[in-house]
C-alpha cells in the first residue's frame, strides 16, 4: 500500500535523541533503523517514486513549515 501514497516524509538523523524513558536512545540502534528505512526508500529496487519521497531537514520549526507547505 505504501507505494500508493502521494507523499512520504523521510526524516534523517540530525538531532540527538532525548531520553524520555519511552524511546530507545541507543545511537547504533537509531542508525540501524535509519539505514533500513533509507534503503527501502532510496535503493534502485525501491517501488517508491522519487518525487513522492520528501526529505525533511533543518530546525524543528523549519521541518514543521516544510511539512505544512506540502500538505496543502
pLDDT tens digits, 14-65? 988 889 988 888 999 999 999 999 998 888 888 777 788 999 999 999 999 9
Q: Cβ atoms within 10 A of the Cβ of 48, count?
A: 16
What does the pLDDT read at residue 46? 81
What does the pLDDT read at residue 1? 54
> Nearest-5° angle of CA 51, CA 63, CA 16?
115
What would the grid cell of residue 50 be? 522519487
Q: What distance in Å separates the CA atoms of residue 56 and residue 36, rounded to the nearest whole number?
A: 17
What does the pLDDT read at residue 9? 94
Query: Does the structure show a pLDDT above 80 at 4?
Result: no
Amino acid at each position: 500500500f505504501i507505494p500508493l501514497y502521494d507523499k512520504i516524509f523521510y526524516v534523517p538523523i540530525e538531532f540527538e535523541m532525548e531520553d524520555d524513558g519511552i524511546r530507545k536512545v541507543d545511537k547504533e540502534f537509531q542508525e540501524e533503523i535509519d539505514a533500513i528505512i533509507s534503503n527501502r526508500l532510496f535503493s534502485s529496487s525501491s517501488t517508491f517514486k522519487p518525487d513522492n519521497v520528501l526529505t525533511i531537514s533543518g530546525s524543528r520549526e523549519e521541518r514543521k513549515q516544510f511539512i505544512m507547505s506540502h500538505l496543502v
